[in-house]
């Protein structure tokens, strides 16, 4: 149960940092801190597509993966409700509407691929496993992605970041993120799957 609670807390504070700051530097360093906080307990996924990658790699079993994702979504939802209390506005996760569907999906796909590929390499690659810099590598990857494609897609790279606020809207009674949720499911899941398959291929070689 401790690992599920860490996934809850880590995702909750990640979404809080995103919602309160909307600043790539704060988000990147915030994620770095959260990774170091929880990696020794849960692995510090805080992201369903990371959990899916670890499930494919058999670093986590199906039972734990289900509850990891459940608690990540719960953490994100509670965070969005806290943000509504603190700011008085609903949290919206949405792209730049002047961007095309293909630009949005490509942005989420590419940088989720990069994020998951980096995580797999710094966390479980035989040559790097047990290193002390993994948290910085992960946080800086998210920061670089947010600077690069934030103006296009909103730079979620994480389905929980979008699912939680969308669920909170049904409680609060307002919000339009549900219309854009599919971007943050299709792009990141596809990117994560390709990153995992690429990692497996390269490690085998």
pLDDT tens per residue across span 178-204: 999 999 999 999 999 999 999 999 886
Domain limits at 190? Answer: 2-204
pLDDT of 10 strictly over 80? yes
**CATH classification at residue 107:** 1.20.1080.10
Alpha helices in the chain (DSSP H): 2-21, 24-38, 48-56, 62-87, 101-124, 134-153, 159-172, 183-204
pLDDT of residue 204: 66
Angstrom distances, CA of residue 95 to CA of 81, 98, 111, 134: 21, 9, 15, 29
* Entry pTM: 0.94
Domain count along the chain: 1
pLDDT tens per residue across span 164-177: 999 999 999 888 98
pLDDT of residue 76: 98
| Span of 26-30, 85-89, 201-205 with lowest mean pLDDT | 201-205
């Amino acid at each position: 149960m401790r690992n599920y609670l860490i996934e809850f807390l880590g995702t909750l504070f990640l979404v809080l940092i995103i919602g309160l700051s909307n600043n790539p530097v704060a988000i990147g360093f915030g994620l770095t801190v959260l990774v170091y906080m929880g990696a020794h307990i849960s692995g510090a996924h805080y992201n369903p597509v990371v959990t899916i990658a670890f499930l494919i790699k058999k670093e986590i079993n199906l039972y734990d993966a289900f509850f990891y994702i459940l608690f990540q979504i719960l953490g994100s939802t509670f965070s969005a409700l806290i943000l509504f209390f603190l700011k008085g506005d609903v949290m919206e996760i949405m792209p730049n509407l002047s961007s095309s569907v293909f630009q949005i999906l490509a942005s989420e796909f590419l940088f989720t691929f990069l994020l998951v590929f980096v995580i797999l390499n710094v966390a479980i690659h035989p040559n790097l496993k047990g290193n002390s810099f993994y948290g910085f590598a992960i946080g800086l990857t998210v920061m670089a992605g947010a600077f690069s494609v934030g103006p296009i897609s909103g730079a979620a790279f994480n389905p929980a970041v979008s699912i939680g606020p969308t669920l909170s809207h049904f409680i609060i009674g307002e919000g339009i993120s549900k219309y854009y949720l599919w971007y943050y499911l299709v792009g990141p899941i596809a990117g994560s799957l390709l990153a995992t398959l690429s990692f497996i291929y390269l490690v085998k070689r």
